[in-house]
Chains A and B, each alone.
Chain A
Amino acid sequence: MTEIKHHAYLFDATRCIDCRACMVACSVENNIAMDKTRIWVAGIGIKGEYPNLERGSMVYHCMHCEHPDCMSACPVGAYTKAEDGPVIYNPEVCIGCRYCMNACPFGVPHFDYDKGIIDGAFIDKCTFCPQRIYNGQEPACVQTCPTDALEYGERDELIVKARARIAAHPDRYIDHIYGEFENGGTSYLILSHIPFNELGLPDLPAEPISEVSEKVMEMTIPFALSWGAVLSGVAAGVHLYNKNKEEKTAAEENTEATK
């Protein structure tokens, strides 16, 4: 099998039957505690009025964004984006500030609210099953999906596949691959028959939302230096002006005194 250069998932909401085999598989594969999960069901469920009904739900986990907001936001750099796709969390440096949870537009990182400082409270999220994908296996969720709603492979190829599927059944799908460009692109791509925000996905532009924040941060040091210079200038100027005025006043007084 050829090396995958950019690991990605493709989820097809029309195939998903919400059986949750993927969720059980993930829990087992990654030895997740009973009260935690890395993958969940989101969506509007059943919509419409009897008997004209439609159903929409989606399983999702970390989107493994191309421009991860968690990575941008984390003060200690606990997140990295691997060259071949997965976004990796490193608990060794995490300080538990939970800024990543704010930053992620998908609400992915989950926190150990029930652990004190002895046990250690960390973030938990999908790891892309490295123990599987680097051993020629599919991630646990993908491998077990009975209806192939979850697929895995090379990101570019999955996008081609998704486009072909939309083209083959234009009446079935919304003509859009969520994650192709959203937030600068994600590695969890989604096809759907209902509007994506009904699956629980936010509307995101193609520009990564971390851009604004990062641009402002880039300006920090230049701004600090400039502002420091301005303030110093003002202080010096004011000081000189005041000194001048003092000397003038002192000189005037002297002249007055000598008169």
Chain B
Amino acid sequence: MKLNLTVQPRFRLNFRPLVWVLLALMGIAFVIAMIRFANGIGPVTNLSNAYPWGFWISFDLFTGVAIGSGAFVMAAIVYIFELKEFQPLLRPSVLTGFLGYIMVVVALLVDLGHPERIWYMMIHTNHTSVLLEIGICVMSYLTVLAIEFAPVIFEGLKWEKWAHLLHKLIMPFVILGVVLSTLHQSSLGSLLLIEPTKLFPLWWTPILPIEFFISAISIGMGMIILESSLSSLYFKRGLELHLLEKLGRAVPVALGIYLLVKFVEIFIAGDAHFLFTSGLMSLLFWTEILVGVIIPMALFSSKRIRQSANGILISAIILLVGMILNRFNVSWFAVQHADPITYLPTFMGNNIHYWPSLSEVLVSVGIFSAGILVFGMAAKYLPLFDNEHPQHAAGD
């Protein structure tokens, strides 16, 4: 089958309305980011000494990294377990991952006090720091993803020789990619290990990294389903529902293991009494468990739902919402920094309550919009969804 590809896209000015909206959001975020660079983080956010991390970290870092987990799940399925039938899902998920991680880095450039020093993490290293590990892993993984995605670009540019070469060498990078992903997906949980007095006992545990990794797998599967479904809807192409249905069978397994690990840990640690007596914390916990674990487990267990395009999409969305709530809980909602005790001088403003400002949210929305826009452009101008290329098979 011949590739139907326009290598030199002709730029048209009548973009679809969505594109204009995305561009506008990106523009707003850019302006706010400039203000942030000129005047500091304070004027554009509600962050304070009591809440040094807020929406940006919860959404752009924690959720952003979680969203990118589809890539390593897909890479493992296709390359390590050689389930080649899932090939069509690979490239979009790799791109999603790639863009997700780029978004993380862009967001960090806005959030860091000294973005121009982001590369210091490579030359000034404190090996006890979880954040260092995440930093190095994310930067390395970006490279791996770039390599995994390069073939698509090469094909688009008709550099067949390079594409072919890269395919031969892909395996070590896949292994590296899965290892790196395991490390940093779990390390996001490890970030909270040093805050046992601040993260509520229903979430804090020494095995947070393990819990994060297991949930990352299910998030990855959810993301693959979501991204495939949305692409098919938007770009009006066929949905590989049979592949998604098969993928969906693994979801209850992953969620089940996660649920077991989580509750066994809570009971062993003696924190069970917090489950129903902790007011808002209990509410957040049970919402996260119900929406992110129990309901998706039930939904994905139903063959009828898995075989329905709408059904599987909605189930994936529910799963993702619940899991994103988990990320928000662990990084923000269930974290209490300042003790509600009088602090003087009063200008210290130890606000016990933090809520992001509008400009703060708009920055994240803008970055997210950029990701969607780039994904859309890639879908349009690159062989993203081409699924019959014989050179994709690994290990030849």
Q: Give A residues with C-beta under 8 Å from B.
A: 23, 35, 37, 40-45, 57, 69, 71-78, 93-99, 101-103, 105, 107, 110-122, 197-198, 200, 202-204, 209-210, 212-214, 216-217, 220, 223-224, 227-228, 231-232, 234-235, 238-239, 242
Residues of A within 8 A of B174 (CB): 235
Residues of B within 8 A of A224 (CB): 179, 182-183
Question: 30 A–B contact pairs at CB < 8 A?
Answer: A40-B344, A41-B343, A41-B344, A41-B345, A42-B341, A42-B343, A69-B194, A72-B128, A73-B129, A73-B131, A76-B117, A76-B126, A77-B124, A77-B125, A77-B129, A94-B114, A95-B120, A102-B52, A102-B198, A113-B42, A113-B45, A198-B341, A200-B341, A209-B196, A209-B197, A216-B190, A217-B129, A217-B190, A223-B183, A242-B82
Of A102, A107, A111, A214, the contact of B113 (CB 8 Å cutoff)? A111
Residues of A within 8 A of B79 (CB): 235
B356 within 8 A of A: no
B57 to chain A, nearest CB (A): 9
Residues of B within 8 A of A23 (CB): 345
Q: Give B residues with C-beta under 8 Å from A.
A: 36-43, 45, 47-50, 52-53, 76, 79-82, 111-118, 120-121, 124-133, 135, 171, 174-176, 178-179, 182-183, 190-191, 193-198, 206, 209, 337-339, 341-345, 347-348, 350, 395
**Do B41 and A121 touch across chains, with their CB atoms under 8 A apart?**
yes
**Do B342 and A114 touch across chains, with their CB atoms under 8 A apart?**
no
CA distance A213 to B182 in the complex (A): 17
**Do A107 and B126 touch across chains, with their CB atoms under 8 A apart?**
no
CA distance A238 to B42 in the complex (A): 53
Closest to B42 in A: A113
**Do B175 and A75 touch across chains, with their CB atoms under 8 A apart?**
no
Residues of A within 8 A of B198 (CB): 102, 105
Of B40, B178, B195, the contact of A103 (CB 8 Å cutoff)? B195
User: A interface, by DSSP: helix, strand, loop or mixed?
Assistant: mixed
Residues of A within 8 A of B175 (CB): 228, 231-232, 235
Residues of A within 8 A of B120 (CB): 76, 93, 95
6 further interface pairs, Cβ-Cβ under 8 Å (given A98-B53, A213-B190): A43-B341, A77-B124, A77-B129, A116-B38, A202-B197, A231-B175
CA distance A45 to B337 in the complex (A): 20
Residues of B within 8 A of A210 (CB): 128, 194
CA distance A204 to B197 in the complex (A): 8
**Do B197 and A112 touch across chains, with their CB atoms under 8 A apart?**
no
Residues of A within 8 A of B338 (CB): 107
**Do B40 and A238 touch across chains, with their CB atoms under 8 A apart?**
no
A62 to chain B, nearest CB (A): 13
**Do A116 and B128 touch across chains, with their CB atoms under 8 A apart?**
no
**Do B341 and A99 touch across chains, with their CB atoms under 8 A apart?**
no
